[in-house]
Chain A
Amino acid sequence: MTCLPEKTTRKLGLVIDLDTCVGCQACVTNCKEWNTGGHMAPLTDTNPYGAGADGVWFNRVHSYEVTTPEGNSQSLHFPRSCLHCEDAACVTVCPTGASYKRISDGIVLVDEDKCIGCKLCSWACPYGAREYDVFEGVMKKCTLCVDRIYNENLDEEDRVPACVLTCPTGARHYGDLGDPQSDVSRLVRKRNGQDLMPEMGYRPTNKYLPQREKIANTATGQTTALAPLEDTSGASGLLGWVDRMLEQMD
């Protein structure tokens, strides 16, 4: 199992829009509440009400300030979760076969019953997407909500990952990135979707849509000041204009 499939039938994954994400953490907590009772249940927490509180989470949102080469500074919120890589070394390093990539949909999973908790896969993941459950002694990670997306006990429209379902700004998209005609693939093309750390060579399935060019002006390209009204008669330009306008309206 530890060998990666040469090809997966589908490439299910997420597309995350960094231009729209406001950093609200909704995807973070929704992921936690779904998954703590889901396939990898529980996502254990340590010292929940004291110092050094820590726990297993599959999705984390960072905030940054980004400086462009031109020196402009902007703020950026960045959700980080498993990217379900095609060349997922987290899978190949696993000595037990607990870590595997599904052939049908490309989802990278951990089989908790096989995992010996050696942690090597977390070292092999450049994105910090794997979190170790100290109490259960096994590695846990984003399941792409494998227990939602096919779940016949859920309404059809709810069969999407919890983080996607909840994202209030609609910054998270889910679909088959292996199908060039899928909505997510189109979106990636349209918005120049990016791989994270492509130099690592993991070929992530998830894509990130970079921040867009800021809209400089609403339309006309006019960025100069408004021209004041001509000063006619004694009245200020404005009032003269008002009078003319009112005449016209009559």
Chain B
Amino acid sequence: MHPAASVILFTTASGIGYGILALAPLLVTYGVLPDDNRWLGASLMLPALALVTIGLLSSTFHLGHPERAWRAISQWKSSWLSREGVMAIISYVPALTYSYAWVVLGSVDGPWVWAGFATALTALATLFTTGMIYRSLKPIPAWATNWTVASYLSLGLLTGLAVLVSVSTGFGLHPIRFQTLAVILVLAAAIAKNRYWARLHKAWEQHAQNTGAALASPGNTVRSVEWPHTEANYVLKEMGYRVARKHADSLRAVARNLLLVVPAAVLCVMPSILPLPYLIWMIFPGTLLTLAGVAIERWLFFAEAKHVVTLYYGVE
């Protein structure tokens, strides 16, 4: 699949945003984050809202008809894309409410806690629907797995946490307090992504095996001799993107290191061994590297995923 920059930007940015939205209220409620610092609230909630908004806008302006984007929430009964739109919009309500309480009122106590839960829940649900958009596309066997959803959820939360830790470290909070959560999320992301990658080629080969069935001649093997067009067309440009396996493998190693090893190091290990002033110098760049890692991972998510239509073009 063609790795369009706008989609990579959208999924990366909104992933971080929803990650923060899902985690911050819960961490506050369970006392991991202080609830009395509106500046901290502002520094977490506003960037989170900005990121999800940038993500949404970027995907909207990527549409052929952005002015009609409102229509996209109408088909929530069947379409995961529509559901995502709906969730994204709904999630603003608790998120803004909670932010209002935290930043403006300076208090998230009492009934505001419920707004916090709602924020977390809708953020998670939005991440889930994003994952489901891809998961539900059978013609792209790489994506048609629950590990796709698990990846979106865990990576959203992990990147959200990385930013959240950076910000709170800036407020002088020692990151050791997030250690357990970090360990859980790194493990979850590691499992999801590794399982996703582990089945990627097999999932494709299952489909590619019986190329004959693509041509109504089951059992036969087919080789493309001529395409219907000698230059690339929409289908090929959109769905026929090919990245050399060798490249993909090395990029995958980079993504793995940035996305899993770096947070494991800076979020899980270093807090136990480094004092805060030094940690700050590790956590900021570590977060940036993690975000770079997720961008690469998103690029690979598209670039490595083959669409079955390519069978018609003889792309093995």
Interface residues in chain A, defined as those with a beta carbon under 8 Å from any beta carbon in chain B: 1-4, 18, 28, 51-57, 60-69, 75-76, 78, 80, 89, 91-98, 114-120, 122-128, 131-134, 136-139, 194-201, 208-211
Contact A122 B239 (CB under 8 A): yes
Say yes or no: A95-B214 contact (C-beta < 8 A), given A119-B238, A125-B139, A132-B64: no
Q: List, in ascending order, chain A residues with CB within 8 A of B139's CB.
A: 123-126, 200
Q: How far is the CA of A4 from the CA of B79 in the complex (A)?
A: 11
Bound state CA distance, A63 and B74, in angstroms? 41
A41 shortest CB reach to chain B, Å? 17
Question: B residues engaging A (CB < 8 A)?
Answer: 1, 63-66, 68-69, 71-75, 77-82, 85, 133, 136-140, 207, 210, 212-229, 231-235, 237-239, 307-309, 312-314
- A196 CB, min distance to chain B CBs, angstroms: 6
Minimum distance in angstroms from B212 CB to a CB of chain A: 7
Closest to A211 in B: B217
Cross-interface CB contact of A131 among B207, B212, B235, cutoff 8 Å = B235
Sampled A-B contacts (27; CB under 8 Å) = A2-B79, A54-B237, A57-B233, A61-B228, A62-B226, A65-B222, A91-B78, A92-B79, A93-B136, A95-B71, A95-B72, A96-B71, A116-B64, A116-B66, A116-B72, A123-B239, A124-B137, A124-B138, A139-B64, A196-B213, A196-B216, A197-B308, A199-B207, A199-B210, A200-B138, A200-B308, A211-B217
- How far, in angstroms, from A78 to B74 measured CA to CA in the complex? 37
CB closest residue in chain B, given A68: B220
Select B220's contact among A1, A69, A92, A195, beta carbons within 8 Å.
Answer: A69
A95 adjacent to B85 (CB under 8 Å): yes
Q: Do residues A128 and B207 form an inter-chain contact, with CB atoms below 8 A?
A: no
Complex partner residue of B78 from A3, A56, A201, CB under 8 angstroms: A3
